[in-house]
Amino acid sequence: MNTPYSRPFSSFPAAPWRLLITEAASGAWNMAVDEAIATLAARGESSPTLRFYRWQPGAISLGRHQSVNEIDLQRVRSRGYDVVRRPTGGRAILHIDELTYAIMGPQDEPRLAGAVLDTYNRISQGIVVGLHRMGVDATKAPGDKRAGPDVSPVCFEVASAYEISVGAQKLVGSAQSRRGGYVLQHGTLPLHGDIARLVDVLALPSDQERQALRQLTAARATTLAAVLGREVSFWEAATALIDGISTVLALDFKQQELTAAELSLTQTLMHQKYTAPEWVQRV
């Protein structure tokens, strides 16, 4: 286990934030909710928010600029998965058997202000502290670590700056977007299951390449159950991360629900953007 944590961000005054724990939903709904909250927070109409959620059915999410041609849509459909495109960057993720977090707020909120990597570092520190309290020897990647130009379509193959690993294996993948005065960062903590399942739906030229990438992904990424030797529930993981994030960022969370304005904007974004072929199927 790492040395005991000392708070590098303790200069923040205590502040109230909203906590949302929403029901499992489709990929389009989940992405629309995140953007709706972020958009309204930038206008001062929603509170800075930490949200935890799940996906039903399981979904492949593509990074904002990733080509849909990197996945095999026939394979995706045969497994019953959704396909959605995130508003954030990065590579493909299979959202199943996991906890997903999202943090949304205005860019002038002190915890979200500054350079992208500064915010990333603060949030990652909170997640690391939460993982430590579950007994996970988690660490952040160095701030200067970047994915190389030959990176595969798999998000979890390699950890980038301040992403979270256990030993040599990536555990938490995250991405951030800053638009229209807001900060939106979301990420995924795989709880259990086959971490290499995503490879089965990628558009790859041969079974040999698929098997090789499967083995590489399994070697470079992991799940919470594999680390701890036991299954961890969504609620146990969420509780630990709330504890870590509130400690590091000096936050007082109040659990609430989506507002009427957020639900209305979510519906608009879901139908006009996140289910629209021109967004989802971009190449």
pLDDT digits (tens, 9 = 90+) for 109-150: 999 999 999 999 999 999 999 999 999 999 998 766 544 444
250: pLDDT strictly greater than 90: yes
Share of the chain above pLDDT 90, in %: 86
Q: What is the CATH number of domain 15-278?
A: 3.30.930.10
- Does the pLDDT value for residue 15 go beyond 60? yes
Q: Is the pLDDT of residue 238 over 50?
A: yes
Q: Are 23 and 100 in contact (CB under 8 A)?
A: no
The residues annotated as belonging to the active site are: 155
What is the rounded average pLDDT of the residues 31-47?
A: 98
pLDDT beyond 90 at 251: yes
C-alpha distance from residue 59 to each of 93, 142, 174, 282 (Å):
8, 30, 16, 17
pLDDT at 26 over 70: yes
More confident residue, 51 or 155: 51
Residue 72 has pLDDT above 80, yes or no: yes
pTM score of the predicted model? 0.90
pLDDT class for 9, splitting at 50, 70, 90? low
